[in-house]
Amino acid sequence: MKQSLVFLSIFSCFIRICPLNDIKIFNEKSDISQAENENYFVEGFVFKDMNHSGTMDDDERVSQLKMNLWQENNLMDTILTDEEGYYCFEGLQKDKKYQITAECFSDCTLMQKYPDEDITNDFTIMQDYQVKTEEFVMDQVFKQYNLGLTPIAYHVHYQLNGGIGAFQQDEKAYGENTEVQICSASSLTKEGYIFVGWNTQKDGTGYM
């Protein structure tokens, strides 16, 4: 768009200083319409929703992520997102079929779609931690595909197994292979029993 605006501005100045018979008039099938057809493009943002907020926060943008553009099974272009997680493929051809693929992360999954947010996520998960869009036809000048990734989170749930007393469940989300500090149960009581610790099975036959 910036190039088009500059061209129109220069052309406007050119009209003012040149004789009328030197001015080129564009009709409906003009060179401008042909130039626009050569500037179809796709853009988008990539980000990791680290805080699981469901929004595309500026400090969560993923930079230097490899994005690949395919045209009917032929790799056309590969670019890296900039520091703000932005990528753009330019010069796509009208009515041609394309597909975008990108690297993913082993500790992430695709973000859910949120109707009130600017998150498209028209991506599906492939093998080897990659994602891809469905094959699309460039039937308009501009398309946008925003890719939101959510780190896989784990939660620790405590079953009191008949115990009573004040106990604060752990609401924290943990990443894979994260060390967890087990909560204290000093306030729990159960008639006829003495608390000796947590176990993965309520009958005590699992891992302590």
E strands, the chain, are 40-48, 66-71, 74-80, 86-92, 97-103, 108-110, 123-125, 130-133, 136-137, 142-144, 147-151
Same domain assignment for residues 51 and 135: yes
- Provide block-wise average pLDDT over 10 residues at a time, the chain (208 residues): 34 37 36 56 92 82 94 94 95 94 87 67 81 93 92 85 84 80 84 88 88
User: Which pLDDT does position 131 carry in this prediction?
Assistant: 92
Tell me: do 79 and 136 sit in the same domain.
Answer: yes
CATH of the domain at 124: 2.60.40.10
d(C-alpha 208, C-alpha 190), whole Å? 19
Q: Are residues 44 and 95 in the same domain?
A: yes
How many domains in the chain?
3
Task: Kindly state whether residues 50 and 134 are assigned to the same domain.
Answer: yes
pLDDT of residue 45: 93
Q: Domain span at residue 32?
A: 1-36
Domain boundary among 129, 151, 173: 151
- Residue pair 139/160 in contact (Cβ under 8 Å)? The answer is no
Residue 104 sits in the same domain as residue 195 = no
Q: Which DSSP category does 148 fall into?
A: E
Stated pTM of the model? 0.61
